[in-house]
Each structure stands twice: as C-alpha cells, then as structure tokens.
Structure 1
Amino acid sequence: MSDYRVLLIQIRDADDPIGQQEIGCFAAALDCPESAIRVFDLLTTELTASHLADCDMIVIGGSGRYSVTSDAPWMSKAIKSLQFLLESGKPTFASCWGFQALSRAAGGKVIHDLDNAELGTHSVFLTEAGKQDPIFSQLPESFLAYMGHEDRVSVLPPGTTLLATNSRVAQQAYRFDDRPVYCTQFHPELTLPALHARIEAYPEYCERIAKIPFDVFCQQCQPATDSESILRRFTKQYLR
C-alpha cells in the first residue's frame, strides 16, 4: 500500500451521504489508506499554499448537487482556488465535477446539457493523442467507464490535449500540456458496487437521466475494470 499524502477537494454539503464513500473510493483506487486522504471543503474555504504544502497530490471528484455552470458567489471563489491549484503545478487528478471545474478555471466552457447526460457505464474511445499518452495508452482503444453527469465541457481550455471521447460527449478526458494534471468526465475512482451505491443515494439522477427504475438501471450497468486502473497509473507516472 502506498504512503503518499492526498488532498481530496470536495464540493459537498456536510450531510451529503456520499462524502465518506468518496474518501473510500479514492483510497481504494489509489491503493492508499483512508487515513492518507485529507478532505478540503471547497464550498466554504479558499485554497492556499498551506493546504498544498503537506500533500503529494490532489484529487477532485463529483459534487453531489452543485453545478459548475453556477454563477453563485461560491463558484466564483472556487474558480479562483482552482486557478491557484493549477498554478501550483501539483500533481492533480480530477473526475466529473472536477473535470468540468478545472476546464472552466483554465478558460474552457461548460454547459448544462440534459439531452446528452450520461449515467451508468458507457463506452469511451481513445483519441490519437490518447493512444500515445503515457497513462491512457495502456488502456484498450475502447473501454467502459462509470458516468453520472448532466453538465459537460463543450470547449476545452487552451493548453490541453483531448485523450478520450465518445459520440454523446466529445470531451471525455484531457490532460494539461505543461503540468501533471489529468481530468476525466467519467469516474475512474468508482467500482460497479460503488456506482450503484452512489446512484441509490441520489435517486433523482436515475429518474431524470436514465428514466428507468433503480433496479433496472443496476441490471444494465457493467463493470468498467479498465478505467479502474487509471488512477494507479497516474500515481506511478507522477509520484514514484
């Protein structure tokens, strides 16, 4: 088990049922103890150098019920914190909300698009750049990934490279070209049971996106074992 220190940036209410589960999911995906993960509340706190000083990497996951497209004051403050994070050069991996938020912070565009929302397991395809990337090139050209989003990145920020795509949402994974930062619209920190537990905690997602009962949704999901390896490949590339 690895001994690096991880800062998990969360965008969740204090009573969010998935807050603790998210810690366990990242710990398992990174092969580190949960005690190695420290949580940072981006909803209420501004990120500073002191928060970054005693961690080896940063991870950002989903958000529960908060949208990157919001114009609320908390989002403006969050964007400034994420811009500071990007300037720090710290190894960072962001999924779902984090994927969208770092894109917006770096000058990309995020939109709400319920018509192209994805929930469950969906196929993702490597771009030509993805096939050459040190992390993504170790994946099959087509692989399954765990999804749960209504917003999407419509325009990538400058200085990034698209690594994965599909026919519904073109921007599925990208990296920053000049710093160790990778972002995925999908959730490589999840497993199939964790995906089921997360959707069960947010039943409105199943009703609004999948439009099927939860038990039927679970039957349609498949294991996305290839994507589950991405975070460990990231740490091998940048932390060892």
Structure 2
Amino acid sequence: MRRFLVLQLRPETEAADEEFDAFLDRGGLSAAEVHRIRLDEAPLPALSLDDYAGIIVGGGPGCVSDAPEDKDPLEARIEADILSLMPEVLSRDMPFMGCCYGMGILGHTLGGTVAKGRYGEPIGGVDCTMTEAGAADPILADLPRDFRALVGHKEAVETLPEGAVHLVASAPCPFQMIRAGRNVYATQFHPEAKGQNFANRIRIYRDRGYFDPSDAEALTEACLAEEITVPERILSNFTRRFGG
C-alpha cells in the first residue's frame, strides 16, 4: 500500500503529536503507512504526489482569512506551503482530506468566501446532517444521516465554491463538509477528534482566542461528556477507500 502524506500545521509539539496519534488511531493506519511532515519544523520539501495514496491535512491555529499583515510569520509560511500544493491536488483529483483548517484552504483555493463574520463555532459538540449528496457519497454512504461532531473554529466557508459539492451541514455552520471533484474532501469538524482530544487542545490553546480562558473547565467537561463515533468512521472510510 502506498503511504498517506500527513501534513501538520500545529507549532505546538504536544498538540501535533496528539493529533498525529489520533489520525493513526481513527484512520486505521500504522506509522509505517504514513509520511508525516510537520510544517512548523521546516518548509515543505519537494514532493512527488505519485508516491502517495492520498493527503491528510490537520488543523492549526492559523486562519486563511486573516489579513497578511496580521498573520504570524510561521503560520503565513505554513499556509503558503499548503496552498502551493492545492492546484496539483485539484488538477489530479488527488485523494485529500482537509480537517478544519483544511476547509479554509480548500474553500479559499476554489474561490469561495472564507471569513470570520458569520459561521465561527465555539469549542464543543454540534449536530451535523448529511445532504442528499452526502448520503450518496462513497465515504459517507454507510453512515447515519445525523451525527455529532466536535468543532471549534474562528473562520468558516460562507459561500459554497463553484463546482464544490455540499455534503454535510449544521445549524450554526452550513458547510461542515464539502467535496471538489470526486476525491478532494474537507471537513469543518474534526474527524479525528474525541472528547479527550479536545480536552487536551482546550488546555494547549486556552489563550489563542477560541474561548474565554475562564470557560476552559466547563468546556472541557462538556467535550468529555460527548459521545463522538461517526466522524472517525469518515476518516477510516477515506483511508480504506484510497489506501488499498
């Protein structure tokens, strides 16, 4: 089996390691089946996408909708590295799963509106519902139409990009999952995350503007109380479909 390329954007080692372990566990992957690159450690090296079964992009504290002058220099370089891959990903219809931050990357690349004005969601669980197109999609077709997922994001896709397919919605944020072509996916929710993952991230990111730090304990308790089962099946369906 060709490996999956896992690109991580989190500058915090503890958060990056925790996310990577979650990708392996929920994606049904071994460390030997992936090529992990932490973009905070070095610029994206020269790659041949022919070497990979697909690409998984993790989350991170950056926002593509931030003004260039407001971007942290490291986050700006990481964003530029990811964006540099997207034209080839789309032209090849390369299997791609962008998680949370990946929604902004895909939406921006496709020309959709990505902004902070309307659909940011606080840390916690949300009810998601598949569209008709979602229910017919190969990596969603065997899953419940309604499910809970964990979210927490400042920006969101506000308009469906031309040519994109709307797969999953929620009341607070309409575009929870989209697809471009046949194989390029992005989720606004975190398909790799369970309650403990979010508890860890609440501790790590408590001062990054996602929530009032005084709410950290209550948010942690709420996330730990969530029973999240369907999103990880989306991730494992993706790796099974394109990895073997």
Q: Is the 8 A contact 1:69 1:111 kept in 2?
A: yes
Q: CA RMSD in A?
A: 2.4
Q: Is the 8 A contact 1:145 1:187 kept in 2?
A: yes
Query: Normalised by the size of structure 1, how large is the TM-score?
Result: 0.86
The aligned residue for residue 30 of structure 2 is 33
The aligned residue for residue 158 of structure 1 is 162
Of 4, 9, 12, 1:11 maps to 9
Following TM superposition, by how much is the alpha carbon of 1:114 offset from its aligned partner in structure 2, in angstroms?
7.3
Letter in 2 for 1:8: V
Write out aligned runs for 1:139-158 (5 A). Answer: 139-158=143-162
CA change 1:141–1:219 in 2 (3 A) is: same
Q: Is the 8 A contact 2:122 2:210 kept in 1?
A: no
Letter in 2 for 1:127: T
Is 1:193 matched up with 2:196?
yes
2:213 and 2:130 mapped to 1: Cα distance?
Answer: 29
CA change 1:109–1:197 in 2 (3 A) is: same
1:85 and 1:219 mapped to 2: Cα distance?
Answer: 39
Letter in 1 for 2:20: I
Of 51, 65, 68, 2:64 maps to 68
CA change 1:54–1:208 in 2 (3 A) is: closer
2:66 and 2:13 mapped to 1: Cα distance?
Answer: 19
Letter in 1 for 2:196: P
CA change 1:59–1:77 in 2 (3 A) is: closer
CA change 1:158–1:46 in 2 (3 A) is: farther
Following TM superposition, by how much is the alpha carbon of 1:4 offset from its aligned partner in structure 2, in angstroms?
4.4
| 1:123-170 alpha-carbon deviations (Å, 9 max, x no partner) | 111112112222223222210001121110011222211011111111
> Is the partner of 2:14 in helix, strand or coil?
coil
1:113 and 1:212 mapped to 2: Cα distance?
Answer: 24
> Is the partner of 2:141 in helix, strand or coil?
helix
The aligned residue for residue 85 of structure 1 is 89
Of 2, 17, 26, 1:20 maps to 17
CA change 1:208–1:7 in 2 (3 A) is: closer
Of 193, 211, 236, 1:209 maps to 211
Q: Which blocks of at least 5 consecutive residues in structure 2 are unaligned?
A: 69-75
Of 56, 59, 68, 2:56 maps to 59
Following TM superposition, by how much is the alpha carbon of 1:198 offset from its aligned partner in structure 2, in angstroms?
1.6
2:95 and 2:66 mapped to 1: Cα distance?
Answer: 26
> Is the partner of 1:236 in helix, strand or coil?
helix
2:10 and 2:91 mapped to 1: Cα distance?
Answer: 24
1:180 and 1:117 mapped to 2: Cα distance?
Answer: 26
> Is the partner of 2:207 in helix, strand or coil?
helix
Write out aligned runs for 1:107-118 (5 A). Answer: 107-113=111-117, 116-118=120-122
- What is the aligned length? 233
Q: Which blocks of at least 5 consecutive residues in structure 1 are unaligned?
A: none
CA change 1:70–1:213 in 2 (3 A) is: closer
Following TM superposition, by how much is the alpha carbon of 1:40 offset from its aligned partner in structure 2, in angstroms?
3.0
| 1:94-144 alpha-carbon deviations (Å, 9 max, x no partner) | 110011111111211200137742311111111121122222232222100
